[in-house]
Amino acid sequence: MFSKPMHDALNEQINHELYSAYLYLSMAAHFDAANLPGFANWMRVQYREETGHAMKFYGYIYDRGGVVTLKAIAQPPTKFRSPSEVFKQVLEHEKKVTSLIHDLYTLAVKDKDYATQSMLQWFINEQVEEEKNATAIIEMLKMVGDSPVSLLMADRQLGARKGD
């Protein structure tokens, strides 16, 4: 079992992961409405990944003898601007999630909770990938600029993303 502060923090992280999923689903809806199905696909894959992350925490809590307590998920934004601005929001959101994972790790170190430190290492590595992916898309969209043809090519590229 883990400490009460760690138990509470892990339950809170489930909420953060589900909010992330909800945010990406909202972004997918935006892109579907803007007739950018490739961008929408990328966001739906991201939605499924974030749901999977929440379930990793869920399972881990039960593996350690805890109880999952779900809280209300905040409503994500529903209005977005350009694809470039959306991916800038994605990067900022992922940086926030990275910070939350680091805070969990810091608590695990403080608690000398080696099992949780080990489990969180996967998430630390995952966040490096998440930030890298968002940054790469932002850089691609900078190159695309205002070119509709290039945006359609980017949409096709993002549409090729498969779920894990």
pLDDT in tens, 103-160: 999 999 999 999 999 999 999 999 999 999 999 999 999 999 889 999 999 999 999 9
How far is residue 148 from each of residues 10, 83, 151, 152, 153, measured CA to CA in Å?
44, 12, 5, 6, 9
pTM: 0.95
Q: Tens digits of per-residue pLDDT, 125-134?
A: 999 999 999 9
Report the alpha-carbon distance of residue 69 to residue 89 in Å, rounded. Answer: 28
Q: What topology does CATH give the domain 4-72+80-159?
A: Ferritin (1.20.1260)
